[in-house]
Amino acid sequence: MRALPSIIQGGMGVGVSDWRLARAVSARGQLGVVSGTALDVLLARRLQMGDPGGHVRRALDRFPVRAVAERILNRFYVPGGKAADRPFAPLPLADVDGPRELLELRVAGNFVEVSLAREGHDRPVGINYLEKVQLPHLASIYGAMLAGVGFVLMGAGIPSRIPGVLDGLVYHAPVTYPLSIARGGEGADTLLAFDPREIIDADLPPLTRPSFLAIVSSHVLAAALLKRSNGVVDGFVVEGPTAGGHNAPPRGKLQLNEAGEPIYGERDGVDLEAMRALGRPFWLAGGYGSAAGLRQALACGAAGVQVGTAFALCEESGVRADYKESLLAQVRAGTARVFTDPLASPTSFPFKVAQVDGTLSDPAVYEARTRVCDLGYLRDAYRKEDGTIGFRCSAEPVTVYVSKGGRIEDTVGRKCICNALVATVGLGQVRGHTTEPAIITAGDDLASVTQFMPEGATRYTAADVIASLLAPATEEVQARHPSSGHPSLKDSTEGHVFAGLS
């Protein structure tokens, strides 16, 4: 595996860790990770917003197949941007084998994001996927590899078939991925297939295989992945239940505290001794966004930390500026609250929701929304009565879900986080006189982001986060700078950056 960073900026979907954030982090010698979720929709919508700055078009110019780039531009680019009250062009819902328009958007969308994140520096950039969101995997990973992605990270499931996919795509070979389907539905048609030659019409040299890091919540899963994967797992991110985004559910029967949040106990802890014994580098995630957190992780034998929340609120993140401002104002006022919602996500994994007025965390906003499922990333596959494969989501209109065999009790409290997360980065669909409401996820550690704000400032940058995490302990600072007491970024990065295991 290539040299290891001590800080991984966690992948944050949809579009929160976009190319700007990942580029800022990688350019400073740590690992910037773009989110690979829903990049097909983001590509189409950014072009319809007029592609301010021309970044998307610049990256599309580098795409190896001119005809694909041109088809996408012709269909979606709106010079000057669409009118604010006009809806975005709808995309077809994904199916087991396409459709072709989505395949092209996936390959190109992933290519664009990684390609832009790699501009202006020569450090590796990673991409993050959720195993659960399976239909786009193969084309997405191929697009990211075409752009030279250095690391693929995947959690929210058991990604044991991904290493083999990476190995195949290096040679532009056809690859497959088993679609998870409701019990008993497996069949010859549940193997997703992708042949790069469907997209690429020229002979291309082999690509570089990215390192693969699996995101796990336990050493048991890490060990199982090493044993059962169809290729090399290069390392692990070990993520605890305080982390932003989705959390692994507690082991055993789900119990809730008075506020209605899942209770985690001893059994949910990770045995770091067992992690070390696996002999692969690992990073700790979930509440490690501080200099003390990084030191603690390194002392435990980790290669470093993966940090999300701290980066989600920095200047370069994709979160809409007004949401960032209001969350940071709450943080400064000491009123910021994060609720671990056991119902919100159709995945049925607990999902952390920051409480922000005007977003889906507000019960009135949730109730007022008419259920629509037109992005469909979190749909589950099931076998229909006619023998074909269908897809359903517990956040889609209740009658539709039930008509597909879904249980009505599973629809209670479910939120369309596909549409909401796209809205969080300012690309929400317009429906009549309303725009899709956003949802903002953050870790339990949200209140601690004040540590990154330079004195007197109300905002901070990715560089502030990195400098703060790499700041040596006070005793070390005094030994090195007896007169100043303030570490410079240059000094503070010594010894940490790329200091990990190999």
Minimum gap (Å) between residue 244 Cβ and ligand FMN: 2
Rg (CA), the chain: 22
Query: Please, which residue, 68 or 307, has the CB nearer to ligand FMN?
Result: 307
Minimum gap (Å) between residue 464 Cβ and ligand FMN: 15
Strands in 291-423 per DSSP E: 304-307, 338-341, 351-354, 380-383, 389-392
Q: Locate tokens 């780039």: which residue?
A: 69
Minimum gap (Å) between residue 56 Cβ and ligand FMN: 21
Taking the C-alpha atoms of residue 7 and residue 33, their distance in angstroms, rounded to an integer, is 11
Largest CA distance in the chain: 78
Residue pair 41/375 in contact (Cβ under 8 Å)? The answer is: yes
Minimum gap (Å) between residue 351 Cβ and ligand FMN: 10
Query: Please, which residue, 109 or 245, has the CB nearer to ligand FMN?
Result: 245
Question: Hey, what are 224's tokens?
Answer: 């199982």
What does 154-179 look like in DSSP terms, one character per residue? EESS--TTHHHHHHHHHTT--EEEEP
Residue pair 202/393 in contact (Cβ under 8 Å)? The answer is: no
Minimum gap (Å) between residue 441 Cβ and ligand FMN: 5
From the number of C-beta atoms within 10 Å of its C-beta (0-12, 13-18, 19+), residue 315 rates as: middle
Query: Please, which residue, 68 or 395, has the CB nearer to ligand FMN?
Result: 395
Query: Please, which residue, 163 or 196, has the CB nearer to ligand FMN?
Result: 163
Query: Please, which residue, 126 or 342, has the CB nearer to ligand FMN?
Result: 126
Question: Hey, what are 27's tokens?
Answer: 């350019």
Q: Is the dihedral of CA 144, 104, 178, 17 positive or negative?
A: positive
- Residue whose C-beta lies closest to ligand FMN: 308
Query: Please, which residue, 168 or 289, has the CB nearer to ligand FMN?
Result: 289
Minimum gap (Å) between residue 448 Cβ and ligand FMN: 9
Minimum gap (Å) between residue 254 Cβ and ligand FMN: 21
Pick from 167, 110, 99, 169: which is nearest to 135 by CA? 99
Minimum gap (Å) between residue 286 Cβ and ligand FMN: 4
Query: Please, which residue, 60 or 425, has the CB nearer to ligand FMN?
Result: 425
Residues that bind ligand FMN (CB under 6 A): 10-13, 16, 35, 37, 128, 130, 155-156, 215, 239, 242-245, 285-287, 289, 306-309, 312, 441-443, 445
Q: Locate tokens 């007029």: which residue?
A: 50
Query: Please, which residue, 72 or 314, has the CB nearer to ligand FMN?
Result: 314
Query: Please, which residue, 16 or 152, has the CB nearer to ligand FMN?
Result: 16
Which helix (H) or strand (E) element contains residue 35? strand 32-35
Question: Residues near 399 by Cβ (< 8 Å), separated by ≥ 6?
Answer: none
Residue pair 327/442 in contact (Cβ under 8 Å)? The answer is: yes
Minimum gap (Å) between residue 52 Cβ and ligand FMN: 23
Question: Hey, what are 470's tokens?
Answer: 């790499």
Taking the C-alpha atoms of residue 331 and residue 122, their distance in angstroms, rounded to an integer, is 35
Minimum gap (Å) between residue 398 Cβ and ligand FMN: 26
Taking the C-alpha atoms of residue 157 and residue 216, their distance in angstroms, rounded to an integer, is 8
Query: Please, which residue, 124 or 308, has the CB nearer to ligand FMN?
Result: 308
Taking the C-alpha atoms of residue 367 and residue 369, their distance in angstroms, rounded to an integer, is 6
Residue pair 278/378 in contact (Cβ under 8 Å)? The answer is: no
3-state secondary structure of 467: helix
Query: Please, which residue, 68 or 94, has the CB nearer to ligand FMN?
Result: 94
Residue pair 449/328 in contact (Cβ under 8 Å)? The answer is: yes
Pick from 9, 3, 4, 2: which is nearest to 288 by CA? 9
Minimum gap (Å) between residue 183 Cβ and ligand FMN: 25
